[in-house]
Structure 1
């Protein structure tokens, strides 16, 4: 066959998009580089089920890889008369640079399943190949007649998990009775009499519900913030009241102390005058003053203990009794 009837691109490995190195053919008839297909199948080793990157036909166990002698010879001839090694290296270097530029991708971007090394963003997902494809790997679906019939959708991550296992169609509907995702064929069979809506419609309903819940949460949040603000304001008032009580108590204690000093002077006068009556009167006053001092010290201690109490309710219940004026007996 004349090489003019074929282009180099038609011989390229579908994975690396370059002329195949050590070309091998798998049971479905598609050919790849030995290294490319081994690398692609390495991620399927834990499952034990291997698939073709193009037609998605599955094999179990892993089929043996046989060298495609005819393809290898055709590629060798194409290498001799096609692109020079310098041109090939230049093209691969440019492609590598593009991959590095695209490597800084935002979260949530669907990546190409066929890219080796650094993956690039997928433009479409193929429901037949069950793969997400970047601009480069999507080209065969636009040029090859056999691939043009494949159904392409917007890039979808974990595509295999979103395909109906029974009918092999994308699960684009949600069954509200069964609480599960179904394909369009399921809505006419197992879920025929169920309320099935599109995933978009279900999302809109969930968004309305979530919006209502969010609004309620915001209202409760504002209410709790106001309660906290009021509580802090009340605590500041209590602290100011406590400080005032402390100052008043200290003033009263000072006055009592001065009264005692005056009493001592009076006692000295009484002793000097040897007046028993005066002595008895002075002693009575002294006893009352001492009793009042003891009572006020006791009250001061109770106030200090109350100030350190963390029980707000107990504090408020006790504060009024502590703040009531003290009935001081008339002093001489």
Structure 2
């Protein structure tokens, strides 16, 4: 039943022109698809006659409106990878511990990267030293399953975002990167909220200072009507008072920003790319 489903899927993913799995498929106005290269060949050989769909024989004008079928392209690429992997698994795998007798392997240890027959796999099954060594069906492509970035690691997981297989170190790096991104987002949101509150408080202080300046202007007008000696002393006092207010708010704002920056640098962890 599974072989029938696989053959049926391969039939649906086969180009009607080249009779191979779709490569960069393009969808015709009638709904059928074909490879981009096959479509170009048909257009070159049908310059004097209208293009016909190879499946339903529908005719099109001189200008054919085609679109790239992204879903079909992804399905075709995944099917090619799965088919290639099944073909490699179908190859005979021999025991690495008895190369002279050419004994078929029974299991492959992903940690030792060795294929073993039923006799040599006994130690992995019984001895406590091999606890935690994952045993899988014999693999013929154990060397090809090496991670290109981490040569000592074997590819174990499939990453949906990058559409490729990754090892344990890659999975840990991606997890740390994701955690770092989440922490950075949380800190950024907290920093934005804190700055919003600080700016609101600063605006309130500015409003209070504006009111105080208005009152001081009224007092200044009152002082102007005083004798010259008293007027000079009153103006000097007002200017000094305003200067101390400005210095106080500027220093407070500078200290709060400095403390917030130091806290953010301590809490934000370095990403793997920064570490490397």
Between Structure 1 and Structure 2, whose CA radius of gyration is higher?
1
TM range (shorter): 0.3 to 0.5
TM-score of the pair, normalised by structure 1: 0.32
**Larger relative contact order, structure 1 or 2 (CA cutoff 8 Å, min sep 6):** 2
TM-score of the pair, normalised by structure 2: 0.37
